[in-house]
Structures are given as C-alpha cells and as structure tokens.
C-alpha cells in the first residue's frame, strides 16, 4: 500500500450477500424439547421444534446424526427398533432399524454436552417455574410443539 492506496480492490466480506447466503447451516436440524425456554430459543436460531411422536427415529433420513444435548441425562432409547448395531468409532454407533433405515447415535443416547458445560451460577436466574411460564406463552404463535414429560420421566 503506497500513498494510502491498495494494490488490489478490497471489500468487507461480512457485507457480502453471497457470504451471508452460503454461511447458513446446510443441515436441517429438528429439535425435540421439554424445556419451554429452550423451545422458545430454538426457532429464533433457525431450528424446527417438534415432538418425537411427530418425528420419530423410524421417519428420519438415513445417516442422520442423533444426540442428546439437553440439560438432563435422559437417554434416547432405540433398542426396540434396532435390527443391528455397528460401532463406527468411540461414542458413535450406527443403528440399522427394523424398517431398513439407519441412524448414527452419539454417546449411546446419553447426554453429550456435560464436558462442555459452562455458565453462570444458578442464583443468577429466575425460578425455573417462572422462566417456563414466560417462555411457554409465545410458543403457539411460533408453531413450536413442546414435548411434555411423563411423571416417570420428570
């Protein structure tokens, strides 16, 4: 750069329409959620939220990656639908379902995010019941379907 003039033209890549269009995630991510606050946040980040009853494992596309990234260590149960299980590598198993489809399940369906948890201490937040009530209010207008836990699951 001589005399304040660049040798080649430059643009701010963050202002580029092409960059904004191709930087979006290519995967279609569907979330099932039991927590109203997370269910409210998900569509704001571009995710679809539905129930497992409406989008069950047998209906998923081949080679989909399934994992539990929530706050509760509840497993994703696939045993009743499995014809064969093949370990791909540590913490990644491919399950061949009885209907011929196959899915990739991380951490055998157990919580995968515990190793990455960071955040504020709990006293910084409102009571969960109040958070849930506030978050549930707009879910219907956002076409978000919240999964309700049974007494046994809760």
pLDDT at 115: 37
**Gap between the Cα atoms of 68 and 111, Å rounded:** 5
Strand 92-97 versus strand 82-89 pairing type: antiparallel
Widest pairwise Cα distance in the chain? 73
pLDDT at 68: 82
Q: Torsions phi, psi of 114, nearest 5?
A: -60, -35
Q: How many CB atoms lie within 10 A of CB 145?
A: 18
**Gap between the Cα atoms of 133 and 114, Å rounded:** 26
pLDDT at 94: 94
Closest CA to 40 of 120, 154, 142: 142
Q: Which residues of the chain have pLDDT under 50?
A: 115-118
**Torsion, Cα of 149, 31, 110, 79 (10° steps):** 80
Closest CA to 86 of 75, 70, 97: 97
pLDDT at 31: 87
């Amino acid at each position: 750069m001589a005399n304040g003039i660049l040798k080649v033209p430059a643009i701010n890549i963050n202002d580029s329409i092409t960059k904004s269009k191709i930087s979006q995630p290519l995967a279609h991510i569907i979330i099932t959620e039991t927590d109203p606050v997370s269910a409210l946040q998900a569509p704001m980040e571009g995710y679809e939220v539905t129930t497992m009853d409406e989008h069950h494992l047998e209906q998923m596309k081949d080679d989909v990656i399934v994992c539990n990234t929530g706050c509760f260590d509840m497993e994703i149960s696939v045993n009743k639908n499995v014809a064969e299980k093949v370990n791909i590598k540590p913490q990644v198993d491919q399950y061949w379902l009885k209907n011929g489809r196959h899915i990739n399940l991380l951490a055998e369906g157990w919580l995968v995010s515990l190793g990455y948890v960071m955040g504020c201490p709990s006293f910084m937040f409102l009571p969960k019941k109040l958070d849930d009530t506030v978050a549930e209010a707009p879910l219907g207008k956002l076409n978000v379907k919240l999964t309700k836990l049974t007494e046994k699951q809760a």
